[in-house]
Structure 1
Amino acid sequence: MTKLNRIVAATDLSAPARHAVERAAMIAVDKDACLTLIHVASQAPLAQLRQLLGTGDERVAEALQATLREAMRDLGESVRQRFAVAPAIDLSTGDLLPALLARVDAAQADLLVLGARGASFLRHILLGSTAERLLSSARPPVLVVRLPPHEPYRCVLVPVDFSPVSLRSLKLAAEIAPGAVVTAMHVFEVPFEGQLRYAGVDEAKIEHYRARAAAQAQADLAGLLEQSGIEPGRLRLVVVNGDVSQRILEYEQELDCELIVVGKHGAGVFEELLIGSTTKHLLAESQSDVLVVT
């Protein structure tokens, strides 16, 4: 199984970002892992402030930095008291994305945890092309937290497409949520189904192709789950036909999942160039936490 020894939680010190810090602390306690809390103070507004104040007056900027240090110390102490884990504190200044990635690498993180609804820092990080750059560049898996972490994950959904990342996703799901039921889900489509129907192939024959595709997917999924090493009693297998993103979101609601574990890339050639379209859709539309696996 994948081991989580060093966990990093990024925070902009907003109330929504606290969910991510608390989830990271819960995982750190469960895994007996080291926890680091990171805040990156954006260089651009600090530079703008200095320009407004004039080069001769650094007192306000210094006071702001002191306030951030105190807020991070208070957050670390709150985590220590509530979760009995003493986090390391990392406060830095720089361009948001490069600075965050540099600090995560310096911490040799096995998992990066972010809040989905930050006030400024995280909102900027998780929007559009910046989110794509983060998820494309980050070395460890990235856990995007939406839900208040009242308890460990109990229901985890892992969409698989039999690409190399599928097995890693299953193993990481079992590691991060050791007490959860893990639903491994494969969504398939009959190749060229629309063209076959347009070409006049009758519906019975298309249904025959669909049944064969489903049977093959069931066999492949069973083999993948055997490789994962997850106890059979914790596993649920789902093979369905349809649109991938839509089906995943449907089952997220039906199963009342708290976490979706998905690969950064899909199986398609073009999916390897950026983060996959399904992954981006889940980050935008799902109601649960999303763990993006590299």
Structure 2
Amino acid sequence: MQAFSPIVVATDFSDSAERAMQRGAQIAKQLEAELHLIHVVQPLDLYPGVDPAADFRQNHEQALHAAVKNRLDTLADNLRKDCAIQVVVATRIGRAHKEIADYAAAKEAYLVVTGARGEHTLLDLLIGSTASRLLRLATCPVLIVKNTETKPYQTAIAAVDFSPGSITALELARAVAPSAQIEVLHVYDTDHDDRMRQAGMDETFILNRQAHVIKDAEKHLDIELEKLNEGKISRNVVAAYPAAAICERAEVLRSDLIVLGRHGKSGMQELLLGSVSKDVANAADCDVLLCF
């Protein structure tokens, strides 16, 4: 019996996807989870200027589907041999981000792992990044792999803002990076202070308010970390713009993983992905794991 739900790795056979696959296999092994490799074949009608006849399109997609299945089977066999994990392969036809999200939801995946950059750079520019779109559709955490090496995580940042999604960030960081030093980071958003200054509020009041909020955040984190009683977890509270502060702190610590919560979802998916989550996912040099 598997200890965790499946780890789903999206691959387009690029170098970036290869690193995502290796990271996914590593996490699957340490969690004793099943690894699912999925590749999505893009229909010809998604390519600009292409309007193929129905029979040609069907033959093309069937041939491509068979070739992809062979490549996936080879990758799966190698992973079973090298990592001693259970591997399942799947192929779909359609828009990559939607098919991956739907597959992960159907399998009740614990985690989706994807590379930061795909194989078809020009196509990504035309229809949007698969990873970026996947973040808005996925119903489970998404790990964007950016590190050039896939050794076990050594130093991680769990960024929290005390929303339900961000609290999960620490739990997820501990699961995927069990041997890492983890810093729980809360960033007091100084944009609030700037708006108060623009409204003409007293500077002393603004600074006193900031100090009070930071002190409360430190107390809250101390209480949470005391419950865990783990020496590898520390806390830090800073005042800055959140996305920039998270990325800068990751550079200082030489972190190989940033975990942060993603806000809830509704019809306004683009907005509710959250500017902080999106900015960190784009700007960070290390792996980024977004969770609810």
TM-score (norm 2): 0.85
**242, 245, 248: which one aligns with 1:244:** 242
Query: CA–CA distance in 2 between the matches of 1:130 and 1:115?
Result: 9
1:148, distance to aligned residue in structure 2 (A) = 3.2
The answer to whether the 8 A contact 1:111-1:142 is kept is yes
Name the structure 2 match of 1:277.
275
Listed as ranges, the gaps of 5+ residues in structure 2 are: none
The answer to whether the 8 A contact 2:166-2:262 is kept is no
Residues 138-287 of structure 1 aligned to structure 2 (within 5 Å)? 138-189=138-189, 192-194=192-194, 197=197, 199=200, 201-202=202-203, 206-226=206-226, 229=228, 231-265=229-263, 274-287=272-285
Name the structure 2 match of 1:41.
41
Amino acid at match of 1:83: C
1:49, distance to aligned residue in structure 2 (A) = 11
> Which stretches of structure 1, 4 residues or longer, exceed 6 Å deviation after superposition?
46-50
Change over 3 Å in CA distance of 1:18–1:25 after alignment to 2: same
Query: CA–CA distance in 2 between the matches of 1:271 and 1:38?
Result: 24
Change over 3 Å in CA distance of 1:56–1:72 after alignment to 2: closer
Aligned length: 285
Change over 3 Å in CA distance of 1:241–1:225 after alignment to 2: same
The answer to whether the 8 A contact 1:169-1:293 is kept is yes
Which moved further from structure 2: 165-174 or 51-60? 51-60
RMSD: 3.2
Identical columns (%): 32
Change over 3 Å in CA distance of 1:62–1:167 after alignment to 2: closer
Residue 68, structure 1, aligned to residue 68, structure 2: yes
The answer to whether the 8 A contact 1:50-1:61 is kept is no
Residues 17-28 of structure 1 aligned to structure 2 (within 5 Å)? 17-28=17-28
Name the structure 1 match of 2:119.
119
Query: CA–CA distance in 1 between the matches of 2:157 and 2:53?
Result: 51
Name the structure 1 match of 2:88.
88
1:86, distance to aligned residue in structure 2 (A) = 3.5
Change over 3 Å in CA distance of 1:101–1:166 after alignment to 2: closer
The answer to whether the 8 A contact 2:100-2:134 is kept is no
Name the structure 2 match of 1:289.
287
Listed as ranges, the gaps of 5+ residues in structure 1 are: none
Q: In structure 2, the residue corresponding to 1:241 is in which secondary structure?
A: strand
Query: CA–CA distance in 2 between the matches of 1:143 and 1:111?
Result: 7
The answer to whether the 8 A contact 1:42-1:93 is kept is yes
Query: CA–CA distance in 1 between the matches of 2:46 and 2:218?
Result: 56
Q: In structure 2, the residue corresponding to 1:175 is in which secondary structure?
A: helix
For residues 19-72 of structure 1, give each alpha carbon's deviation from its aligned partner in whole angstroms, at most 9, with x where no partner exists.
111100001111111111011111235899996577379665543332212111
The answer to whether the 8 A contact 2:42-2:94 is kept is yes
For residues 206-264 of structure 1, give each alpha carbon's deviation from its aligned partner in whole angstroms, at most 9, with x where no partner exists.
5444332321121122123345x3x4301111111111111111101000001110111
The answer to whether the 8 A contact 2:5-2:110 is kept is yes
